Structure 1
Amino acid sequence: MRLLKLVPDNTNIGFVRLRGIAFALTLLLSIAAVGLVAVRGLNLGVDFVGGLMIEAKFPGAAPLDQVRSKVDGLGVGDAGIQSFGDPSTISIRLPLPRSSDEGANNALVAKVEGALSRQFPGVRYNRVETVSGKVSGELIWRGIAAVVAAVTLIAIWGIFRFEWQFGVSTFVAIFHDVLMTLGFFALTGLEFDLNIVAAVLTIVGYSINDKIVIDDRIRENLRKYRQMPIGELIDLSVNETLPRTVMTSLTILLALVSLLLFGGHVLRGFTSAMILGVIVGTYSSIYVSSSLLISLGLDRSRFKQVAAATDARKTARANAERIGPRK
């Protein structure tokens, strides 16, 4: 039985010669992502902004205007109402009452749910969440700190594991992946909550795994092909790891697409972020991180010295085995 090969043997794609286009596209997308976040902002969930969130599901398409008019007439403060997941489901965000104890929160929720149930029979309430302003502020800073710490520590690890050029290129590529995720949520208006922070950290982990495999192959080939031009060597390394990269990305995408289709709207934001992260992570590993090593001036002298020392040890060991122990 023949094995399925998504990438043919002896593939020789010139990734490096496209690095100018890839760098320009990466810069353009990064600027667009920053602009979207700055102009449109993120649709922060209750985890980050505090308040009450009621998720309501209607028998048919949710009448947003009528719901908004009804809730505004209750005098519960500035309410945010929008579709959530599908046309029949909406999220209703309410500010916390002045007396933000559990009794006051429950009374506010009961007031809103009662009014909507009387006007829209058949409406169901899937969940209610409450987060205080203090807790939400702490969650914002902790979420930002977690992402920044993950990206920075991974870059530092790359510097000590390989060379500083590898660490910098990894940092740039992963930072690009995170920016793409933020820009996607600013563009689509999907809710950005703690689940998405977890998705971003998972994307960082996936991206570094892919990049380290390619970087390790580049390092091996730097020792093996000491006279090969650096551009050809990077192309060779990326092509050698391409079957593994493509197969890993596709198998993960199959699982994520299944989760997106059948996992329900609660997981839709998380799954969407993961799918985008796998795609942009694969792109940045192949076109950005590897080719950036050339622009950063990767020095092969250290790898030549290591390879020469390794060859000397192997030669000495072979000579010792050939001569044998002295009698």
Structure 2
Amino acid sequence: MADEKIYNFMGISKAALGLSLALIIISIVAIAYRGLSLGLDFTGGTLVEVQYEQAPSVPQIKQLLEQGGYQNFVVQKFGADTSILVRLQQGYSDEIGQEVLTTLRGGGQAVDLVRSEFVGAQVGEELREQGGLGLLLALGMIMIYISFRFQFKFAVGAVGALIHDVIITVGCFSVLQWDFDLNVLAAVLAVIGYSLNDTIVVSDRIRENFRRVRKESPTEIINISLTQTLSRTIVTGLTTLLVLVALYMFGGEALEGFSKALIIGIVVGTYSSIYVASSSLLMMGISKEDLMIPVKEGVEADDMP
């Protein structure tokens, strides 16, 4: 390793962990006191679908609804360019579809009402309960898997990194009061998968180097491992971010929250693989003895590969 430049990632691990702790505290406080700006999927409300003769301008439709006194609504194209879906966070009534239709006709275009229906909040309550239980079960299974594949200290670091990523990602939506709907929830779950994959790649290299490198300290071995995986991490992260930025810019309002959550999650997940999962190994006192291959009975240590 003498000819290869090794980056001292762990040299700022304490400062990085301090930053993570501060972001987690801010996120938890924001979620507790400000809450999330829950979308129609969680709060219930009214769906109004209208059909135009010619493709309308979505910004103009939003402006008409704002002028009509509507708040907390979502406007998106639904299938064809002439079909528009308006989602309103307010109770349903028989007249609401006609009221929205009258407001939209104020723009001067011919528009017809296709449907107007109520979406109950009970769906959101079930999703919150089942989603929370599913997330806890997934974290438990991840901890068991990594404990068997690597070592229990790796499992603690990996799960800690996942919790770190989820809290900060959701915290950003709370602090900025962005709409939190099912698309965002799906993105948060995707962040868990991405971050876990990145953490496992790093952990695999750390385990390999602990068994292969003889003289260096645990801190130096982790720095070596992170340096060796750095190019892979950068290429994977940048490639994914390019796709997500394209989704954010050209995917429309339906994919805006999804892409924003994933962009935040990938940046935070890449950071946590280095400064949460890896730093926690040092905090728990990882050593070469923890990762030694068990010697089978009757086999001399010198005969081990």
> Please, what TM-score do these two structures have when normalized by structure 2?
0.82
Alignment of 1:1-327 (within 5 A): 10-54=4-48, 57-59=58-60, 62=63, 66-68=67-69, 80-81=71-72, 92-97=88-93, 107-122=94-109, 130-306=118-294, 315=303
Q: What's the Cα RMSD here?
A: 3.0
Residue identity over aligned pairs, in percent, reads 36
Length, aligned pairs only: 286
Q: Deviations over 1:159-216 (max 9, x none)?
A: 2211111011111111110011111111222221111111111100000000000001
Indicate conservation of the 8 Å contact 1:151/1:171, yes or no.
yes
Higher Cα radius of gyration: 1
Gaps of 5+ in 1: 1-8, 72-79, 98-106, 318-327
2: CA distance between counterparts of 1:143 and 1:53? Answer: 24
Indicate conservation of the 8 Å contact 2:92/2:117, yes or no.
no
1: CA distance between counterparts of 2:249 and 2:285? Answer: 45
User: Does the residue aligned with 2:72 lie in a helix, a strand or coil?
Assistant: strand
Report deviation, 1:148.
2.6
Q: Which runs of 4+ in 1 moved over 6 A?
A: 123-129
Gaps of 5+ in 2: 51-57, 77-84
Q: Deviations over 1:69-98 (max 9, x none)?
A: xx6xxxxxxxx435769xxx985321245x
Indicate conservation of the 8 Å contact 1:82/1:92, yes or no.
yes
Q: Deviations over 1:237-268 (max 9, x none)?
A: 01011111111001111111111111111100
2: CA distance between counterparts of 1:59 and 1:53? Answer: 19
Indicate conservation of the 8 Å contact 1:47/1:139, yes or no.
no
